[in-house]
Structure 1
Amino acid sequence: MKNLKTVAIALLVAFGTLNASAQEKKVDVAKSKINWVGKKVTGKHEGTINLKDGVLIFKDGKLSGGNFTADMTSITVTDLKAGEGKEKLEGHLKADDFFGTDKFATAKLTFKTIGTKAKNVYTVTADLTIKGITKPVTFEITVNKNNAVAALKIDRTKYDIKYGSGSFFDGLGDKTISDEFELTADLKF
C-alpha cells in the first residue's frame, strides 16, 4: 500500500511537471501595436488598430499557441490629418462597406498549427474572424524574449468586404482598391 501511494504521488508530480511546462504569456495591449496598410491604384492609406487582449502560449520554450482579439472600433488613419479626410475615411472603414464595427466590434485570430521555420521563427496557420466570417490565414511570426513580430496579408473579399474591389466591380479605373491589406503586429508581453 505504501508503494502504491509513492507511485501515485510520483505520477501526480510528473503529470504536474508536464503541464507546468506550458506557459501563457499575456500580451501587454498598451505597449503592443497593430499597423495596417491598404493600397489603391493611386496610392495607399495606413493606420492602427488596438488590441483588446491576447496571449501567446509556449511549451518547452517554443511557441505552441496563441489567440488575439482586435478592437475594430479603434481603427484609425495615420497618414491623413484632421481636415484632410481623416475622419471621413475612418468613418467609412467602420461602416458596413468595410468592417461594420457597429455590428462587429472585434476581430479574432486563433492559432491552429505552428511549425518551426528557423530559430525563433514560426509558420502559423490560424483562424481569422472578421465580420463574423472565419477563414484560415498563414503567416510567419518571430519571437525574441518578450517581443513577437508578425506580418500578414489578408484578402478582405473573403470577409465580405468588397467595396472598390476590381474583382467584383468593373469600370473602377483609378478608384480600384486592392483586395489585400497588410497587417504588421508588434507584440510585447
Structure 2
Amino acid sequence: MKSIILVGAVAAVLAGYKQFNSESSAFQVDKAASKIEWYGATPDHSHIGSFDVTGGIDLSSEGRVKGGEFTIPVASIVDYDLPDPVRQTLLEDLKSANFFNMVKYPETKFKITKVGAYGGVDTSYVADANYLLTGDFTMLGQTHSITFPAHIRTVNDSLVTDAKFNLDRTKWGMKMYSDPKQKLYIYPNVKISLHVKAAKTAKGETAKL
C-alpha cells in the first residue's frame, strides 16, 4: 500500500513538472500583469510594496522550464501602506545609498541556473510548488545564488509563475539598520512574493530582457 502511495505522489510531481507543450518555447514577461512584492519589518512595524519585472522564460523541447532571466528596475519600487508625503520619504531612502543605491546600481537581476522538480510540502513556500529554481541574484554589484520552490503552470496559453521566499539583504551588503543593538533595527530578512505572467513569443523569437 505504501508503495502505491509513493508511486502516486511521484507521478503527481512529474505531472506538474511536465505540464507544458512539447515544443521548445520562449515566453516574454507581461510587465502589466507581473510584480514582485516585498515585505520588510522592524520589531514594531512593517511596510509592504512591489517592483516591476521584465525578462523571459525558456522551455525545453520536452516542455520543461530550462532557464530564464529577469530584470527588476529599482526606480519602479512602490509602497502600499503609507500616505504621502511619508511614502515618498520612505521610497527615496530605499533608493538612496542607504539601501539600493539606485544611482550606482539601477537594476537587480535574476538568472536561472538550475531547474528541478519539487515535491515538498513546506507550507512557508507557495502552495502547489512543482519546480525548484536555483539562480544567480545580483544586487548592489554582488551576485549570490538563491534557491526556492515555485508554482509554474500554463493559464490560457500564458506561463504563470508564483513563489514566496525570504531574502537576507545583508548577504548582498545592504546592512543599514541591521544591528539589533541599534535604536532603529530592520530585520535582515525581506519576504518576497512574486507573480510573473509571461506570454509565448512568436516562433523563432527569443524572450527579451
Secondary structure of 2:171 counterpart: helix
Residue pairs, 1:72-151, within 5 angstroms: 72-83=74-85, 85-118=86-119, 121-145=130-154, 146=158, 147-151=160-164
Which of residues 178, 182, 196 in structure 2 aligns to 1:165? 178
State the structure with bigger RCO (CA 8 A, min sep 6), 1 or 2. 2
The alignment of Structure 1 onto Structure 2 pairs a total of residues equal to 164
Q: Any idea what the Cα deviations from partners look like across 1:20-42, whole Å, max 9, x if unmatched?
A: 94211111111111111011111
1:120 is displaced (CA, Å) by 6.5
Residue pairs, 1:20-99, within 5 angstroms: 21-51=23-53, 53-59=54-60, 60-83=62-85, 85-99=86-100
Query: How far apart, CA to CA, are the structure 2 residues paired with 1:178 and 1:95?
Result: 18
1:78 is displaced (CA, Å) by 0.9
Q: CA RMSD in A?
A: 1.6
Query: How far apart, CA to CA, are the structure 1 residues paired with 2:88 and 2:24?
Result: 44
Question: Given the two structures, how large is their TM-score scaled by the length of structure 1?
Answer: 0.82
Question: Given the two structures, how large is their TM-score scaled by the length of structure 2?
Answer: 0.74
Query: How far apart, CA to CA, are the structure 1 residues paired with 2:175 and 2:92?
Result: 16
Query: How far apart, CA to CA, are the structure 2 residues paired with 1:80 and 1:25?
Result: 35
Deviating above 3 A after TM superposition, structure 1's stretches of 4 or more consecutive aligned residues are none
1:44 is displaced (CA, Å) by 0.9
1:152 is displaced (CA, Å) by 2.6
**1:178 and 2:207 aligned:** no
1:179 is displaced (CA, Å) by 0.6
Query: How far apart, CA to CA, are the structure 2 residues paired with 1:179 and 1:96?
Result: 17
Larger Rg: 1
Query: How far apart, CA to CA, are the structure 1 residues paired with 2:130 and 2:105?
Result: 32
Task: Calculate percent identity across the aligned residue pairs.
Answer: 27
1:171 is displaced (CA, Å) by 2.6
**Greater strand share, structure number:** 1
Contact 1:120 1:144 in 2 (8 A): no
